[in-house]
Chain A
Amino acid sequence: MSNNKDVIVRLIDVEKEFDGVKVVKKLNLEVREGEFLTLLGPSGCGKTTTLRMIAGFSHATSGEIELEGKNVADLKPNERDVNTVFQNYALFPHMNVEDNIAFGLVEKRVPKAEIKERVAEMIKLVQLEGMEKRKPAQMSGGQKQRVAIARALINRPKVLLLDEPLGALDLKLRKQMQLELKHLQQKLGITFIYVTHDQEEALTMSDRIAVMNDGVMEQIGTPDEVYNHPKTKFVASFVGESNILESYVEAVRGDLLRISLEAGKAVLHAPGFKKEEMIYICVRPENLQLSQTPIEHFSIRGRIIEHIFAGSVIKTVVELINGQRLRVARHPGEEELEVGTYVYVFWNPKKAIIVHTVEEQIYNIIEQNSNRMYKEFVEKYSATTEEV
């Protein structure tokens, strides 16, 4: 993220407070030109607030927001070169499709002939031909969403902000619109900042995902990085299904850790850990394996509780001896295990990921800071003693 030219939106230490409650905390984010960035998080994590601050509907309590390198604190929503697609479409009910889409151009005093041309072009782009004269009340959810997208895109914004735009659509239509939106973005090359709480949607559509929790951005990275290398416990559990196990390092041999869990012992591959360190490990259901015979290095035992049929895979729930339940994704062809069978749980040591909790990260920061302060103090103190 060192190349400044590529950054189109930059958030620097942005914080937002509502009635004394911080909903966005020290947010630093750089959005690159032409990328599809998703703000992903549960409701109330501050993702919509962040979007509204970029759009200009809400002011940051502290920190700076830059669009194309310029601080936009004093710019009103109508003065910013970004447009928004709202969650509930927010179409103008008294205007037909054409007039809705033309709204932005009329406000910009674009000549009538050009408006007509560009509206027609947009209607074609979002495949609403023949609906020009319809009012929003006479359209389906998916159609209204298309109007909302066309209306926001016609101003040719530098950045398009989308606030859970597909939230109200049914699953099938949502999947279809996800792909369409992604293709549209690739075709137009406009930067999209997309807010959603649906991790699957984020993984499908995004170039990069910023995972937010409780006002803090916990991780930013490509879908692959976020899914396969979650940095925190929250990211691991929120993005995709995961089994999180608390354990401590019993022995270290090179990069191989021998760990001890409540329910048994296991090994995993991870560099840079010390003996007796407490760690959280995350194993995806598809990376867990079951066996009726013991496996070398693994001694985690459990009993099969139930099988959940989920189409291409069967999710098997295993209860460990300490009561923790793990979800294991198995394929229909695998060895059949009846409910009640005792099994050994194991995994490829390279497929388990060590994750942190936010608290740990904060402790790390505090530790670094206190080390620095201690050093400064020592330097100062030694300087003064020398004077004396």
Chain B
Amino acid sequence: MSSKKRQSPFAVVYACLVYIFLYLPIAVVIAFSFNTSKMNIVFEGFTFDWYVSMWSNTLLMDAFKNTIIVALTSTLLSTILGTLCAVGLNRFEFKLKGLISASLYIPIVIPELVFAIAMLILFSSLGITMNIATLIISHVTFSMPFVVITVRSRIAGFDRSIEEAARDLGANEFRTFFRVTLPMIMPGVLSGAMLALTLSLDDVVVSFFTAGVDSQILPLRILSMVKKGISPDVNALSTLLIIGSVLLLTGTTLIQRKLERDDAV
């Protein structure tokens, strides 16, 4: 692209507005996490106090701990299940494959509320009381299809003879999967996992219906705090979460870029 057009000032202003629109709310959260006032209205002075006091807020910390457990477990499970599902759908031909493949998209398209109520009805009709396990199961259910989609799009351009070469050189099915197939679809698996993680971290609706009393997670805790006003230690925790997510995202992007560089065979 050698012919760089001069940008019109309008385009620059427009781009700035878009970015302000996207990032201003986040900037506000970060700013107020350093605010000395307990109210999220005026900025009175700079302090690190909230970053210290949040650790002693047991309600918040319990929710945080649960969030991490649920997010990591459901990400791990949905990534494994989703990857296997994508590989299977790619490799085998069977009856009703079209239907099975299409039904994967249903959890994505139906309103989250409907999905949440469905899960609630399912669990209660089975006589299961809501706990952290029901929460994880529901998270896996709605995030797995996203993993399947990303991994499948990755496999679609996959040269089958590479797997055949591995078999030819003496690797059995399992060895071939772990030494050849998995490394090759890794970029897809990673983006699927990232999607699953974000979906699980900020889910409110499904969690609201399927979390037990003992399994409060951060989004739900914050929601319930809204009534009394959100304390600035929530801002501090949110800021840490934002930093964590950005680091994670940068890390996976770098890994993916490295993996994809090998790809242009």
Is the pair B265, A76 in contact by a Cβ cutoff of 8 Å? no
In the complex, the answer to whether A94 meets B161 with C-beta atoms within 8 Å is no
A237 at the A/B interface (Cβ < 8 Å)? Answer: no
A195 to chain B, nearest CB (A): 14
CB <8 Å contact, B184 and A88? no
Point out the residues of chain A lying under 8 angstroms from B162, CB to CB.
90-93
What chain B residues lie within 8 Å of A86 (beta carbons)? 161, 164-165
B262–A137 CB distance below 8 A: yes
Chain B residues bordering chain A, tally (CB within 8 A)? 23
Q: Which residues of A contact B183 (CB under 8 A)?
A: 92, 94
| Segment at the interface with B among A102-110, A321-329, A347-355, A357-365 | A102-110
Known contacts A90-B159, A93-B262, A94-B184; is-contact A108 B170 (Cβ 8 Å):
yes
The CA of A253 and the CA of B261, in the complex, are separated in Å by 74
Chain A interface bracket (under 10, 10 to 19, 20 to 34, 35 or more): 20 to 34
| B169 & A137 in contact (Cβ 8 Å cutoff) | no
How far apart are the CA atoms of A84 and B249 in the complex, in Å? Answer: 40
Q: Which of B161, B171, B262 contacts A88 (CB 8 A)?
A: B161
Q: Are B168 and A137 neighbours in the complex by a CB distance under 8 Å? A: no
Is residue A151 within 8 Å, beta carbon to beta carbon, of the partner chain?
yes
Inside 8 A of A104's CB, which chain B residues have their CB? 169-170
Residues of B within 8 A of A151 (CB): 165, 169
CB distance from A57 to the nearest CB of B (A): 6
CB of A92 to closest CB in B, whole Å: 6
Asked if B175 lies at the interface with its beta carbon under 8 angstroms from chain A, I say: yes
For B164, the closest partner residue in chain A by CB is: A57
Q: Assess whether B264 is interfacial by the CB under 8 Å rule.
A: yes
B168 near A84: Cβ-Cβ < 8 Å: yes
With a CB–CB cut-off of 8 A, which chain A residues contact B170? 78, 104, 107-108, 155
Q: A94 and B259: CB pair below 8 A?
A: yes
Interface residues of B in 159-196 (CB under 8 A from A): 159, 161-162, 164-172, 175, 179-180, 183-184
CB of A269 within 8 Å of the partner chain: no
A77 x B262 contact (CB < 8 A): no
Within 8 A of A (CB), among B177-218: 179-180, 183-184
Known: A84-B165, A92-B165. A78 touches B265 (CB 8 A): no
Residues of the A chain whose Cβ atoms lie less than 8 Å from the Cβ of B262: 93-94, 135-137
Interface hub of B166, B169, B183, B264 (most chain A Cβ within 10 A)? B169
Report the bound CA distance from A82 to B165 in whole Å. 11
Please give, as numbers and ranges, the residues of chain B lying within 8 Å of A77 by CB-CB distance: 164, 167-168
CB-defined contacts of B180 to chain A, threshold 8 Å? 92
Tell me if A242 counts as interface (CB < 8 A to partner B).
no
- Can you name the residue of chain B whose Cβ is closest to the Cβ of A96? B262
List, in ascending order, chain A residues with CB within 8 A of B169's CB: 78, 83, 103-104, 107, 151-152, 155
- Provide the main secondary structure of the chain B interface: helix
A107 CA / B178 CA spacing, docked (Å): 12
Complex interface: chain A residues within 8 A of B259 (CB):
94
User: Distance (Å) between the CB of B183 and the closest chain A CB?
Assistant: 4
Per-position binary interface string of chain A over residues 293-323, scored 1 when its CB falls under 8 Å from any chain B CB and 0 otherwise: 0000000000000000000000000000000
In contact, B161 and A78 (Cβ under 8 angstroms): no
Least distance between A147 CB and chain B CB atoms (Å): 11
What's the nearest-Cβ distance from chain A to residue B265, in Å? 5
Which residue from chain B places its CB closest to the CB of A94 in the assembled complex? B183
A345 at the interface (CB under 8 A from B): no
| Contact of A93 with B165 in the complex, beta carbons under 8 Å | no
A90 and B161 contact, Cβ closer than 8 Å, known pairs A103-B166, A136-B262, A137-B265: yes
- B168 contacts A136, C-beta separation under 8 Å: no
Question: Which residue of B162, B168, B175, B261 has the most chain A CB atoms within 10 A of its CB atom?
Answer: B168
Interface check A283, CB cutoff 8 A: no
Interface residues of B in 64-84 (CB under 8 A from A): none
Indicate if the CB atoms of B172 and A78 lie closer than 8 Å.
yes
Cross-interface CB contact of B175 among A88, A107, A155, cutoff 8 Å: A107
Contact with B along A70-100 (1 / 0, CB 8 A): 0000001110001110111111111000000
Residue of B nearest to A83 (CB): B168
Within 8 A of A (CB), among B210-265: 259, 261-265
**Contact with B171, one of A56, A83, A107, A135 (Cβ below 8 angstroms):** A107
Q: Do residues B164 and A93 form an inter-chain contact, with CB atoms below 8 A?
A: no
Q: How far is the CB of B175 from chain A (nearest CB, A)?
A: 6
Q: A78-B170, A92-B180, A94-B259 are in contact. Are A136 and B165 (CB under 8 A)?
A: no
Q: CA A88 – CA B259 in complex, angstroms?
A: 20
Cα A155 to Cα B169 in complex, Å, equals 7
Report the nearest A residue to B167, measured CB to CB: A77
Q: Cβ of A90 and Cβ of B172 under 8 Å apart?
A: no
Give Cα A53–Cα B170 distance, bound, in whole angstroms. Answer: 16
Given contacts A93-B265, A107-B170, A108-B170, contact A88 B164 (CB under 8 A): no
- The yes or no answer to A55 lying at the interface (CB within 8 A) is yes
Quick one: CB contact mask for A227-238 with B, threshold 8 Å, 1 for yes? 000000000000
Cβ of B159 to closest chain A Cβ, rounded Å: 7
With most chain B CB atoms within 10 A of its CB, the pick from A86, A91, A94, A137 is: A94
Query: Is A91 touching B184 in the complex (CB atoms < 8 A)?
Result: no
CB distance from B195 to the nearest CB of A (A): 23
28 contacts between A and B (CB under 8 A): A55-B168, A57-B167, A77-B167, A77-B168, A78-B170, A82-B168, A83-B169, A84-B168, A90-B162, A91-B162, A91-B265, A92-B165, A92-B166, A92-B179, A92-B184, A94-B184, A94-B259, A103-B166, A103-B169, A103-B171, A103-B179, A104-B169, A107-B171, A135-B262, A137-B264, A144-B265, A155-B169, A155-B170
Instruction: Give 4 nearest A-B pairs by CB, closest first.
Output: A104-B169, A107-B170, A90-B165, A90-B161
**7 new A-B contacts at CB < 8 Å, known A76-B167, A91-B162, A91-B265:** A57-B168, A77-B164, A83-B168, A90-B165, A93-B262, A93-B265, A135-B261
Q: Which residues of A contact B (CB under 8 A)?
A: 55-57, 76-78, 82-84, 86-94, 103-104, 107-108, 135-137, 144, 151-152, 155
